[in-house]
Amino acid sequence: MTFYEMALDSDQIGGHFEDIDMPRLIDHQTKFVSSLVGGPASFSDERIEAVHRHLNISHADFDEMAELFAEALSMHGMEDGHIKIAMQAIESKRAIIVTRDVA
């Protein structure tokens, strides 16, 4: 919830979350992050790309999302080493999430 509150307040990415079913999105995001760090949920790269393709996400959008996500994890007490692992996993999906090649 902390991450989404921060994302909604972000001038950079807040617009991506307008008119979204937040409980549904949070459920999907939880499963997505779980899949990235070896959890029980699993999302194929094709599925991840398909659900993000229409969002016109730029590298700057991705960077903002990653920064806010890392900040939210830190705020909730996740150790720096674990945050780094989570962020590496998220970064590994940049090429299939970013659709606008603009910084």
pTM score, whole prediction: 0.84
The amino acid that residue 58 corresponds to is S
Cβ atoms of 68 and 7 closer than 8 Å? yes
CATH classification code of 2-7+21-97: 1.10.490.10
Q: 3-state DSSP call for residue 18?
A: coil
| pLDDT for residue 102 | 54
Tens of each residue's pLDDT in the chain, 103 residues: 899 899 999 999 999 888 888 898 888 888 887 777 777 777 788 988 998 888 899 999 999 999 999 999 999 999 999 999 989 989 999 999 998 765 5
| pLDDT for residue 69 | 94
- State the Cα–Cα distance between residues 19 and 34, nearest whole angstrom: 25
**Please, which residues have CB within 8 angstroms of residue 92's CB and are 6 or more apart in sequence?**
36
The amino acid that residue 94 corresponds to is R
